Structure formats: C-alpha cells, structure tokens
C-alpha cells in the first residue's frame, strides 16, 4: 500500500463536510460567514470557516449544534476548544476548521486578514 500525496487526496469528503457546516451555520443564524480555501496553502485542513454569533450564548449554541450535526452525519466527534467561555469556539474536524466568534473578539483577532491578505480567497457563504 502506498501513501497518498496531498494532491491525490479525495476532497469530496471535505467539500461535503464544508457544505454541511455552511448549511448548519446559516440555518442557525450565524452572521458574517466566510469560507477560506486552504488547499495547497496549509496542512491543517482543506477549508476554514469563520463566523460570528451575537452573544456568548449564541456562539456556544452554534458550536454545540454544529458538532452534533457532524456526529450524526459523519459518525465522529470533532475537537472543540473554547465552548465554555463562548467568546471564540474552535471546531476542528480534520478537513475543515471552524471559528465561531463574538463580533468583538472576531474584530480583535482579525483571522480573515491573516489568511486572506488580498481578500481574494474568501468567499462569503
């Protein structure tokens, strides 16, 4: 058995996962949803999604519902950091990394600027 190179990786799973994540966040009223294509730019995953919730409570609820949908659909539990405080929740599915922020925290860290210096790779969801 030979190891697959990153260029040989089947991206249909990560694209399907991305679609589920975007649909979930939109239906649960996340705000300012942005997706960033990381393929060929980072080994951390294929996509990054950044969005905001209006309050700490909504941020935590968005993350909890998303993790539940991923588990129900794909049968695995995503890694979650920061859900207790609800300021910034990181959800790592392996292929897609999701950041759910309170607006003030998102403005402070400005992850979009770090990953999209020219703003050309970002796609509003």
Question: Taking the alpha carbons of 98, 70, 85, 58 in that order, is the dihedral positive or negative?
Answer: positive
Mean pLDDT of 85-89: 93
What's the pTM?
0.84
Q: Is the pLDDT of residue 12 over 80?
A: yes
Q: Which residues contact 10 (CB under 8 A, 6 or more apart)?
A: none
3-state secondary structure string, the chain? CCCCCHHHCCCHHHHHHHHHHHHHHHHCCCEEEEEEECCCCCCCCCEEEEEECCCHHHHHHHHHHHHHHHHHHHCCCCEEECCCCCCEEEEECCCEEEEEECHHHHHHHCHHHHHCCCCCCEEEC
Give residue-wise pLDDT tens across range 24-41. 999 999 999 999 999 878
114 versus 101: the higher-pLDDT residue is: 101
Asked if the 15-118 domain carries CATH number 3.30.460.10, the reply is: yes
Q: What is the mean pLDDT of residues 11-18?
A: 89
What pLDDT is stored for residue 118 in this prediction? 59
Determine the average pLDDT of the residues in 58-70: 97
**pLDDT of res. 68:** 97
For the stretch 39-62, pLDDT in tens is 878 788 899 999 999 999 999 999
CA distance 37 to 46: 6
Q: What is the pLDDT of residue 2?
A: 37
Q: Give residue 88's pLDDT.
A: 97
């Amino acid at each position: 058995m030979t190891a697959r190179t990153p260029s040989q990786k089947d991206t249909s799973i990560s694209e399907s996962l991305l679609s589920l994540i975007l649909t979930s966040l939109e239906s649960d009223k996340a705000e300012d949803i942005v997706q960033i294509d990381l393929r060929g730019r980072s080994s951390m995953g294929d996509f990054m999604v950044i969005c905001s919730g209006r309050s700490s409570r909504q941020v935590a609820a968005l993350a909890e519902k998303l993790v539940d949908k991923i588990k129900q659909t794909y049968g695995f539990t995503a890694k979650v950091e920061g859900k207790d405080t609800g300021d910034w929740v990181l959800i790592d599915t392996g292929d897609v990394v999701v950041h759910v922020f309170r607006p003030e925290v998102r403005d402070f860290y400005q992850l979009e600027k770090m990953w999209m210096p020219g703003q050309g790779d970002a796609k509003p969801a």
